[in-house]
């Protein structure tokens, strides 16, 4: 099994740097560990190179792209019975107010906008959010009703630091579906239930020593499964 990583891992993992892997033709089951898998970023190209070589790889390019598009993320999650909130993709403020209501959580749909999300509690704030995330109203946004408390949690192979059973279970289900090893999940907690709202990359500085130890543990468990990694 081959581990390709852009983050500082334990030495005993013998991970390859992305630049080394991208210049190689190594054929082996591949775990792609980067903090940013977005389209056209290094993490994406690592998975693409692995697939071109015929390697089993997590995450796959398909999952990378789908997970980074909030509407597709939510559609796939909903079909997999993962709790989600309703959403609307539009560039029309009045339509959001009429069909979604306020307050609302707004995510960018354009994959080259990386500002996370914005919460709008009134019409003026909604206009500002759409101007920012829609690049001055040129692109649609994904609007979701804000029904409870919004949490942003690290997910490391589906594991979270929060002592919350609903959020922990949701994080594990999202990982099982999309196989994104490292990411940040945006989750709403309402009526003692957790609902998936969005997903974005982790900054490397957000990874703690405990996270790195957990990464090493999970990789060891995967290596014991042999060549099949359940992509």
pLDDT higher than 60, residue 228: no
**Euclidean distance between CA atoms 197 and 189, whole angstroms:** 10
Residue with tokens 């014991």: 224
153 and 73 both lie in a single domain: yes
pLDDT surpassing 60 at residue 227: no
Same domain, 193 and 108: no
Q: Are residues 79 and 166 in the same domain?
A: yes
Q: d(Cα 78, Cα 86) in Å, to the nearest integer?
A: 10
In terms of domains, do 72 and 154 share one? yes
Q: Is residue 229 in some structural domain?
A: no
Rounded CA-CA distance 135/140 in Å is: 9
Beta strands in 39-192 (DSSP E): 57-58, 88-90, 104-108, 117-120, 141-145, 149-156, 182-190
Question: Could you tell me if 174 and 76 lie in one domain?
Answer: yes
In a domain, 28, yes or no: yes
What is the domain-level CATH number for residue 14?
Answer: 3.40.50
Structural domain harbouring 106? 88-143
Q: What is the pLDDT of residue 81?
A: 97
Q: Up-side HSE of residue 77: CA atoms within 13 Å toward CB?
A: 31
pLDDT at 104: 98
Residue 15 is predicted with a pLDDT of 85
Q: Are residues 177 and 72 in the same domain?
A: yes
Does the structure show a pLDDT above 70 at 42? Answer: yes
22 and 54 belong to one structural domain? yes
Structure tokens at 142: 């994904």
In the listed set 126, 143, 160, which residue is the last one of a domain according to the structure?
A: 143
Specify the pTM.
0.92
Q: Which residues have a Cβ under 8 Å from the Cβ of 127 and sit 6 or more positions away? A: 93
Examine residue 230 and state whether it is found in any structural domain, yes or no: no
Alpha-carbon distances of 21 from 25, 31, 83, 94, rounded to whole Å: 8, 12, 37, 49
The Cα 174–Cα 63 span in angstroms is 11
pLDDT at 33: 94
Helix axis angle, 42-52 to 61-68, nearest 10°: 150
Q: Please state, for a pLDDT cut of 70, what percent of the chain lies above it.
A: 95
Q: Say yes or no: 80 and 152 in one domain.
A: yes
Of 103, 119, 143, the position where a domain reaches its end is 143
Does residue 118 share a domain with residue 198? no
Residue 84's CB: how many other CB atoms inside 10 A? Answer: 20
CB 57, CB 50: distance < 8 Å: yes
Q: Domain count of the chain?
A: 3
- Verify that 126 and 156 share a domain, yes or no: no
Is 105 part of any domain?
yes
Q: What is the CATH number of the domain that holds 76?
A: 3.30.470.20
Residue 34 lies in a domain: yes
Report residue 14's pLDDT band, with 50, 70 and 90 as the boundaries. Answer: confident
- Same domain for 196 and 217? no
Find out whether 89 and 75 touch, Cβ atoms under 8 Å: no
Question: pLDDT, tens digit, for every residue of 109-149?
Answer: 987 776 789 999 999 999 999 999 988 888 999 999 999 99
Q: 53 and 10 in one domain?
A: yes
pLDDT tens string 45-92: 999 999 999 999 999 999 999 999 999 999 999 999 999 999 999 999
């Amino acid at each position: 099994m081959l581990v390709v990583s852009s983050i500082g891992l334990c030495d005993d993992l013998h991970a390859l740097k992305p630049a080394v892997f991208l210049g190689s033709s190594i054929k082996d089951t591949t775990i792609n560990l980067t903090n940013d898998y977005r389209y056209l970023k290094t993490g994406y190209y690592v998975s693409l190179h692995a697939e071109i070589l015929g390697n089993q790889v997590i995450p796959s390019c398909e999952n990378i792209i789908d997970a980074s598009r909030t509407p597709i993320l939510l559609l796939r999650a909903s079909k997999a019975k993962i709790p989600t909130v309703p959403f609307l993709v539009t560039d029309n403020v009045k339509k959001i107010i009429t069909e979604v209501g306020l307050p609302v959580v707004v995510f960018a749909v354009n994959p080259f906008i990386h500002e996370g999300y914005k919460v709008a509690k009134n019409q003026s704030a909604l206009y500002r959010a759409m101007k920012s995330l829609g690049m001055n109203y040129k692109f649609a946004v994904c609007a979701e009703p804000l029904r409870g408390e919004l949490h942003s949690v690290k997910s490391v192979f589906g594991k979270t630091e929060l002592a919350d059973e609903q959020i922990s279970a949701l994080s594990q289900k999202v990982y099982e579906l999309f196989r994104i090893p490292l990411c940040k999940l945006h989750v709403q907690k309402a009526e003692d239930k957790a609902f998936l709202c969005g997903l974005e990359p982790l900054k490397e500085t957000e990874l703690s020593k405990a996270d790195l130890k957990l990464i090493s543990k999970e990789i060891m468990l995967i290596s014991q499964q042999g060549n099949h990694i359940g992509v």
